[in-house]
Amino acid sequence: MKPDTVVNFDVALVERARGGDAKAFERLYREHVGRVHGLCLRMTRNPDTAADCVQDAFIKAWKALPRFEARASFSTWLHRIAVNTVLEKRRGPAKAEISVEDPGEYEEPTMVFDTPVEEEELEAAIESLPQGARDALVLCGLYGYEHQEAASMLGIAVGTCKAQLHRARGLLKERLERGVR
């Protein structure tokens, strides 16, 4: 699974936005806000905090445009800023303590369910995950980032990311079976 590839017209808009064209940036906002918001919402679990993060992320993106390399994916770059924003917003250490095991031990995150699950129930189960596991699951399992990319975004080691993802899968399965709310 791969994150969205760059849509061609993004490049033109980014160039114009870089030149100070706020309208071009607004078009980029309109195009990407849904995804950025979805990411922030699932990571923060709070609509108000998510909205704050979205606003902050786009403002930071605007200011950082001069440093954006046109060849890279704007979408990925934007998500990275959004994740950073969420992490900055978090207060106090809320990371799960888990040892980093051999990265090779973990299989790829295929989150396929044997029987279909209600969307609402699945969202609730994701929301109930501990922070570290949730972050890894959202970025890798939902938004399709590779472990390396996700780990870099989260500021953790690749191995830790894989471990968190593995943990997330286990907890998710367990909670869905139990019918957690």
If the CB atoms of residues 21 and 101 are measured against other proteins, the closer one turns out to be: 21
Nearer to other proteins, 4 or 157 (CB): 4
Question: Which is closer to other proteins, CB of 100 or CB of 130?
Answer: 130
CB of 154 to other proteins, least distance (A): 18
Q: How far is the CB of 114 from other proteins (least distance, A)?
A: 9
Question: Is residue 113 within 8 Å of residue 176, measured between CB atoms?
Answer: yes
List the end-to-end C-alpha distance of the chain, in Å, as a whole number.
Answer: 28
Q: Rank residues 105 and 127 by Cβ distance to other proteins and give the closer one.
A: 127
Minimum gap (Å) between residue 173 Cβ and other proteins: 11
Whole-number minimum distance, CB 104 to other proteins, in Å? 23
Tell me the C-alpha to C-alpha distance, in Å, between residue 138 and each of 12, 13, 51, 116: 29, 28, 17, 19
Contacts 24+ apart (CB under 8 A), 136-141: 136/161, 136/164, 136/165, 136/168, 137/109, 137/111, 137/164, 137/165, 137/168, 137/169, 137/172, 138/39, 138/42, 138/43, 139/39, 139/83, 140/109, 140/165, 141/109, 141/111, 141/165, 141/168, 141/169
Question: Which residues of this protein are in contact with other proteins, per CB under 8 A?
Answer: 1, 20, 22, 25-26, 29-30, 33-35, 37-39, 41, 47-48, 50-52, 54-55, 58-59, 62-63, 111-113, 116-123, 137, 141-144
Q: Which CB, 58 or 154, lies closer to other proteins?
A: 58
Which residue in this structure is represented by tokens 């051999």?
Answer: 102
Shortest approach of other proteins to residue 122 CB, angstroms? Answer: 6
